[in-house]
A and B are shown apart, each in its own frame.
Chain A
Amino acid sequence: MKILILFLLAALPLTAAEPIRVSTFSTILTEIAEQVGGARVAVTGHVKPDVDPHEFEPKPTDMKTVGNAQLILLSAKHMEGYVGKLKEATGAKGRLVEVGNGFASLKLKDDHGHDHGDEDPHWWHSIANVGKAAKIVRDELSKVSPDDRAAFAENTAKYVAQLDALQKWVKAKVAELPRDQRKLVTSHDAFQYFAKEHGFTIYAIEGLSSSDQPSSKKVGEIIAAIRSQRVKAIFPESIQNPKVLTEITRETGAKVGNELYADGLGKGEAATFAGMYKHNVTAIVEALK
């Protein structure tokens, strides 16, 4: 009996230290979960850097991991078409949180600024939204492990302070670009949140999803807009096929700016949210100046 009690006592600290299993379906949420959870979480990022989340489909191995997760984080706003499958896989075991549903949506606009009704799911291009997402993740982790509430709060405060510093840097960098030159021509319509925060007008060649294909009429309209607005550069994206962009640049003479990260984190300097955001802002400002 003594041996059994000793064994149980010895096992207790190990049980308490077991990390919280978190599954994420966005590279941005992977970073947030790691930053907020710190050493108390084991995060599985199912969507890897440089993978197109619009095209991602979970595999059986993903479903198995999700089935064992205590917290599942999704971008939401219709980004994950497989959300039903995930709910089935999790049963009632893990908390499934659609983080993006916590923020106001921005809608796809046409060239005249009219709403099209489709919401832009790329909410992380607003730094303020990423701060809100960190607080949502903090609260959800605290529900899973109330004893770690203080640590999660401290980690979140540090992360949000980094985001505030990033926001300051971004505002100063964007201020180098005259307000009448803030016209952004991109592959797909992923930058509505960025545009709203920093006073840009978007001319997207494709729709909200990277799989949307532009009609020849749409391409003609974009070419006309680039000419009339005297847009200096257009931007491919890290995951896109730049063929149409090449055609447009040939017709308009606009130069091709550096690739933008529209759908999440990448590799190298874009492996962190701050790095990705700085890369995008620098590419935009330097090309449009």
Chain B
Amino acid sequence: MRGSPLLRALLAFLAILALGYPLRQVTRAEFQPAEAAAAAPAAAPKAVVLQVTFTTSPASFTVKHLGREVWAETNGAASVERKLEIPYPAEGVELQFAAAFPEGAPLTAVRLVLTDPDGEAHEKSLWGSGSLDEVVAFP
């Protein structure tokens, strides 16, 4: 091969440079910039039934799901039941349950029964006097 070494080196460099772009495309094939991770679609609400029974009637109580109030009562009944429409993933749900009891009320037991969308009942108990504020997981 004739020509100066400098010219040959320059030609080789230009050849590598020309190959650079297609090479980069090939090597990047498996790591194409991803589309943004598709956000999980919001789970559709399903019907669950929550039954609450107190040994001493509360002055009031609330139930929150995902930080949002889904049920509030001030009627002072000792046993109440409500159908709630909430997303219910396979992992289950957590409900934040808060109650205030009349002054001087004794230590009170609270029984929570949640019937899930498949019709299976899950039971939990809480205890409190004065007030209580607990997160309860179902199942």
Are A178 and B66 interface neighbours, CB within 8 A?
A: yes
**Nearest-CB residue, chain B, relative to A177:** B66
Are A227 and B37 interface neighbours, CB within 8 A?
A: yes
Pick the interface stretch among B3-11, B52-60, B92-100, B103-111.
B92-100
Chain B residues, CB < 8 A from A226: 37
Are A168 and B133 interface neighbours, CB within 8 A?
A: yes
Contact status of A251 and B135, CB under 8 A, knowing A172-B96, A177-B66: no
Are A232 and B87 interface neighbours, CB within 8 A?
A: no
Q: Which of A201-246 contact B (CB under 8 A)?
A: 223, 226-227, 230-232
Report the bound CA distance from A199 to B137 in whole Å: 10
Are B43 and A180 interface neighbours, CB within 8 A?
A: yes
Report the bound CA distance from A182 to B90 in whole Å: 13
Are A178 and B137 interface neighbours, CB within 8 A?
A: no
Mark interface residues in B37-53 (1 if CB within 8 Å of A CB, else 0): 11110010000000000
**Nearest-CB residue, chain A, relative to B33:** A250
Chain A residues, CB < 8 A from B92: 179
B94 to chain A, nearest CB (A): 4
Chain A residues, CB < 8 A from B36: 253
Cβ of A175 within 8 Å of any chain B Cβ, yes or no, is yes
Chain B residues, CB < 8 A from A227: 34, 37
Which one of A176, A181, A231, A252 contacts B34 once the chains associate, using CB atoms below 8 Å?
A252
Are B91 and A253 interface neighbours, CB within 8 A?
A: no
Interface SS of B by simple majority = loop
Cβ of B119 within 8 Å of any chain A Cβ, yes or no, is no
Are B40 and A175 interface neighbours, CB within 8 A?
A: no
Chain B residues, CB < 8 A from A181: 40
Are A175 and B37 interface neighbours, CB within 8 A?
A: no
A167 to chain B, nearest CB (A): 10
Are B37 and A180 interface neighbours, CB within 8 A?
A: no
Which one of A179, A231, A250, A251 contacts B94 once the chains associate, using CB atoms below 8 Å?
A179
Cβ of B22 within 8 Å of any chain A Cβ, yes or no, is no
Cβ of A158 within 8 Å of any chain B Cβ, yes or no, is no
Cβ of A254 within 8 Å of any chain B Cβ, yes or no, is yes
- Residues of B in contact, count (CB < 8 Å): 26
Contact status of A180 and B64, CB under 8 A, knowing A227-B34, A230-B39: no
Chain A residues, CB < 8 A from B118: none
Mark interface residues in A92-109 (1 if CB within 8 Å of B CB, else 0): 000000000000000000
Interface SS of A by simple majority = helix
Are B34 and A179 interface neighbours, CB within 8 A?
A: no
Cβ of A171 within 8 Å of any chain B Cβ, yes or no, is yes
Report the bound CA distance from A51 to B65 in whole Å: 39
Report the bound CA distance from A251 to B30 in whole Å: 10
Q: Which of A98-155 contact B (CB under 8 A)?
A: none
**Nearest-CB residue, chain A, relative to B87:** A178
Mark interface residues in A179-208 (1 if CB within 8 Å of B CB, else 0): 111100000000000000001000000000
Chain A residues, CB < 8 A from B90: 180
Are A251 and B96 interface neighbours, CB within 8 A?
A: no
Contact status of A175 and B34, CB under 8 A, knowing A168-B133, A181-B40: no
A-B contact pairs, 15 of them (CB 8 A): A168-B133, A172-B96, A176-B67, A179-B91, A179-B93, A179-B94, A199-B91, A199-B137, A227-B37, A230-B39, A250-B33, A250-B34, A251-B34, A252-B34, A252-B37
Binding site for B on A (CB under 8 A): 168, 171-172, 174-182, 199, 223, 226-227, 230-232, 250-254
Binding site for A on B (CB under 8 A): 31, 33-40, 43, 64, 66-67, 87, 89-96, 133-135, 137
Closest 6 pairs (CB-CB, A-B): A253-B36, A180-B89, A179-B91, A176-B67, A230-B40, A171-B135
